A and B are shown apart, each in its own frame.
Chain A
């Protein structure tokens, strides 16, 4: 690994470079063949694989500690509750939140955004108000806002991007006014890898009194997040994109905002008292967490965070930046290769086309070589339309990917030429 070329990382810091072979040994799924070839898993932006410690934490929990949380006076329930609460504290620290009650457990980023759009939106938006979204957004950060603006009479305005996939900050500033009540923007684009300047976006939104959500689905496995430094009001985290299980994630929200927001869903575990005439809602975070949660899943997400912390996000960022630079450079040598999106600041995602070959055909040819990539519109149809492409092929990297795997991707793509001429 070439640590000279690392971007975004302070060259004076003294982190330990990651040992990719050691890491690969922690991920049992990687050690297999697909269609007779060694698996090369490059679909990490869709979902990451799980290390042994995460898998084992689920097994340990069910073998030793399982009971329902926050209810029983018995030992198992107390043990389960302790581990569950520990997971919340780990996420709190991981995101740099001030208090554990600012972390609301959700199914993932989609539910976290729905919670904010529905709860904050219905309580605060009215006719004439504006919600700003960027042209880079995933459908999960578009559709919930469409539903709430339709219900409240507010309107959505789109922050435009340039042809390389960067948000146009001067256009953003022009859109800002007293009418703008909410700005919801992706931290890292899942389709292009653009890292958005969230801190600057949040500061400008706050200057006109708007609240800000950053969708961290693609960011938390790659960048050190500090929600207080970013200055956002809300931030979302996805467990399965962070080496944890599917079906678990989190919403960070500033305590004073969450306090004033009405419940999103209701039921047991989110109340103080209930009679048939009135209900008093529980304090944070329980107010937003009705029903029995996926307890093992959140404990395993805590284990995933421990795993990432042990390697260190600085080392991860440096390694992945180097690997991504190498991939862009090697891929660009392929005949008729076209990068889709050339963001100024790129995370571990590369979207591309080869000649006029449809991305699904690229995906199938790569699969026959054991290489897993994503092909499609990446749940970003407005972005695809803006860029004038129906779909792209996307390779996305994680801590266990190697330079040899990038070489295998490149060699496999050369086979496209043989087949499609």
Chain B
């Protein structure tokens, strides 16, 4: 029961119940869709880029608590950050949920998602929104 509590922490359940920055973003300069055919999780990420900065970010989608909470936490972590900073956070997040050690972790509020490591099949739920963000930023850079 402790391990499962570790995964479904209050912060995660709260972000799942009341996702932040949820809904479309009309002024988005770039967007991308992510889909996990294995479980049907869907997420769309909208970013409004101003120069090198993520001025605003929203997401929509449906899926399990882990995927929705991860997307919500992600929007909070990268909003107002530079693209380079966002990519660093993305990298350290990815390392945190896949590696045993999390040396480069800068975004500490994301550590609530570290419990997913114990459930390897669920790592993709946690990383779906982040991959989608990466492709939205990629598209934005070429826009």
Contacts and interface: CB of A to CB of B under 8 A. Distances in A.
Interface string B21-44: 000000000000000001111000
Interface string A398-415: 000000000000000001
Nearest to B9: A419
A419 B39 contact: no
Contacts of A28: none
Given A361-B65, A364-B119, A420 B8 contact: yes
Contacts of B38: 376
B25 to A, nearest CB: 24
Interface residues of A, number: 20
A419 B4 contact: yes
Contact of B1 (A361, A368, A375, A376): A368
Contact of B119 (A367, A415, A419): A367
A203 B64 CA distance: 44
B119 A391 contact: no
A375 B36 CA distance: 14
B40 A377 contact: yes
A391 B122 contact: no
Interface in A355-382: 357-361, 364-365, 367-368, 375-377
B28 to A, nearest CB: 25
Instruction: Among B5, B40, B122, find the residue whose CB has the most chain A CB atoms closer than 10 A.
Output: B40
Interface string B103-130: 0000000000000000100100100000
B13 to A, nearest CB: 7
Given A376-B39, A391-B40, A364 B7 contact: yes
A291 interface: no
B39 A364 contact: no
Interface of B: 1, 3-5, 7-8, 13, 38-41, 62-66, 119, 122, 125
Given A358-B65, A364-B122, A375-B39, 19 more contacts: A35-B3, A358-B64, A360-B39, A360-B63, A360-B66, A360-B122, A361-B8, A364-B7, A364-B119, A368-B3, A368-B4, A368-B7, A376-B39, A390-B40, A391-B39, A419-B4, A419-B8, A420-B65, A421-B13
